[in-house]
A = this chain, B = another copy of it.
């Protein structure tokens, strides 16, 4: 099991400290060796064949998910767009048009993190590196897995790979959707990065102030920038839990002083959604995330764990979506959780970014061991049926309550494929299902969903 060893090493490294960007860069290079890279100097070659993309007008963006600060900004590619030609991996040549005085330069994930760069570039750099790292790890898991004879799985002998869709926004910004469909381990998996900017009108500023007290109010639209990484993995095996991750950075600038950041915050989290409860797995997931929090601020975990339970609650079912994890928003130097106690100083922006790097790096160590431990378990038709019923609940949460999804669906021109990438391949609804009754394995899960527990 060379994967376990190699995976273990990667994980150990990531658990002990934020992933060094040089290692990441190496991984990135490997993954990009056979593909073209962003370039602003040469005219674009004809786009490669992309048979899985019926509409070549790949253009729009879903920064999506889970919070009011999220921006889904996307437009159809228009030929009227002007400015520097750029090309990106596997996508047709697109043109960048700047919206507020600066032409958009694609962020280079191979760059070493440089504290002299603005945070927007550093965070974009970080999420792109992490995306590559996670996609490669998941592909390694796929490659190492021999499906059971009973498993419904693609018959091809080549290990399943992510489909990588990179895009640039004509108005400025970029992103990439990495999606795996029909994997051996992952029935459907999406790992998305988006980097978008635009103008936030006065009404939007007012609305946003409700949840982000540090946001100033202007009578004119103010430039904003948002970048984030978003992941949803739906494994095939009912004994391997679904997992979700999202980390993001948001900032606004002075409308008349380009480059002067008026307000900024980080947000995000990660949560686990098993169909069958394995208590040790819930403990591992929670304690790995708790340890990452505790390295930075012992107030984080209890607050963010509770926030997660509250956010991923399905009121009409009176149950949680899963066993939780952590969720936070509006994390900045002046956040309530950073209010000075005992004469201590609030953390710097650098320290908060360090926390985001640590907690996002903890994703693989928190989740991959659970995959490796359970992926070879067999399952029955009834267990699959229960998994699909639970996926129905996942769909209900995402379509009815998730703020990012709702915002995305309501945004004209948003890239719907990216927004709804979080939905499972298959979901099931039964009327008055008898599954989940007390005293059964399914009932054990229901008990925890109805009354969230402390796992770490």
Establish whether residues B430 and A427, one from each chain, have CB atoms under 8 Å apart when the complex forms. no
- CA separation between A177 and B427, bound complex, in Å? 23
Number of copies: 2
Segment 176-219 of A: residues with Cβ below 8 Å from B: 177, 179, 181, 188, 190
B residues less than 8 Å from A51 (CB atoms): 434
Minimum C-beta distance from A331 to chain B (A): 30
Minimum C-beta distance from A187 to chain B (A): 11
Contact with B along A149-187 (1 / 0, CB 8 A): 000000000000001010000000000010101000000
- In the complex, residue of chain B having the shortest beta-carbon distance to the beta carbon of A177: B431
Establish whether residues B431 and A181, one from each chain, have CB atoms under 8 Å apart when the complex forms. yes
| 9-residue interface stretch from A117-125, A140-148, A392-400 | A392-400
Asked if A279 is at the interface of the complex by the 8 Å CB criterion, the answer is no
Establish whether residues A388 and B426, one from each chain, have CB atoms under 8 Å apart when the complex forms. yes
Given A395-B395, A423-B392, A430:B181 Cβ within 8 A: yes
- CA separation between A362 and B29, bound complex, in Å? 65
- CA separation between A408 and B316, bound complex, in Å? 9
Task: Name the contact of A423 in the complex, choosing from B421, B426, B429 (C-beta under 8 A).
Answer: B429
Establish whether residues A414 and B316, one from each chain, have CB atoms under 8 Å apart when the complex forms. yes
Interface size on A, residues (CB 8 A): 42
Given A392-B423, A426-B388, A317:B432 Cβ within 8 A: no
- In the complex, residue of chain B having the shortest beta-carbon distance to the beta carbon of A55: B432
Establish whether residues B179 and A431, one from each chain, have CB atoms under 8 Å apart when the complex forms. yes
- CA separation between A410 and B315, bound complex, in Å? 8
Establish whether residues B53 and A432, one from each chain, have CB atoms under 8 Å apart when the complex forms. yes
- CA separation between A414 and B163, bound complex, in Å? 42
Asked if A116 is at the interface of the complex by the 8 Å CB criterion, the answer is no
- CA separation between A53 and B432, bound complex, in Å? 6
Task: Name the contact of A165 in the complex, choosing from B177, B181, B432 (C-beta under 8 A).
Answer: B432
Asked if A284 is at the interface of the complex by the 8 Å CB criterion, the answer is no
Minimum C-beta distance from A194 to chain B (A): 15
Establish whether residues A395 and B427, one from each chain, have CB atoms under 8 Å apart when the complex forms. yes
B residues less than 8 Å from A412 (CB atoms): 315
- In the complex, residue of chain B having the shortest beta-carbon distance to the beta carbon of A316: B409
B residues less than 8 Å from A428 (CB atoms): 425-427
Task: Name the contact of A420 in the complex, choosing from B165, B429, B437 (C-beta under 8 A).
Answer: B429
B residues less than 8 Å from A341 (CB atoms): none
| Interface of A (DSSP majority class) | mixed
Asked if A416 is at the interface of the complex by the 8 Å CB criterion, the answer is yes
Asked if A417 is at the interface of the complex by the 8 Å CB criterion, the answer is yes
Asked if A241 is at the interface of the complex by the 8 Å CB criterion, the answer is no
- CA separation between A412 and B165, bound complex, in Å? 42
Establish whether residues A54 and B437, one from each chain, have CB atoms under 8 Å apart when the complex forms. yes
Given A395-B395, A399-B396, A399-B399, A431:B163 Cβ within 8 A: yes
Asked if A424 is at the interface of the complex by the 8 Å CB criterion, the answer is yes
Minimum C-beta distance from A14 to chain B (A): 27
- CA separation between A308 and B138, bound complex, in Å? 45
- CA separation between A253 and B316, bound complex, in Å? 30
- In the complex, residue of chain B having the shortest beta-carbon distance to the beta carbon of A443: B54
Establish whether residues B188 and A431, one from each chain, have CB atoms under 8 Å apart when the complex forms. yes
Given A51-B434, A434-B52, A424:B417 Cβ within 8 A: no
Establish whether residues B409 and A431, one from each chain, have CB atoms under 8 Å apart when the complex forms. no
- In the complex, residue of chain B having the shortest beta-carbon distance to the beta carbon of A436: B54
Residue of A51, A53, A420, A437 with most partner-chain B CB within 10 A: A420
Given contacts A316-B409, A399-B400, 8 further A-B contacts (CB under 8 A): A51-B434, A315-B409, A395-B395, A395-B427, A399-B399, A425-B430, A427-B427, A427-B428
Pairs A–B under 8 Å by Cβ, sample size 17: A53-B432, A163-B431, A179-B431, A188-B429, A188-B431, A316-B408, A316-B416, A316-B419, A388-B426, A392-B423, A395-B399, A399-B400, A417-B431, A417-B432, A420-B429, A426-B426, A426-B427
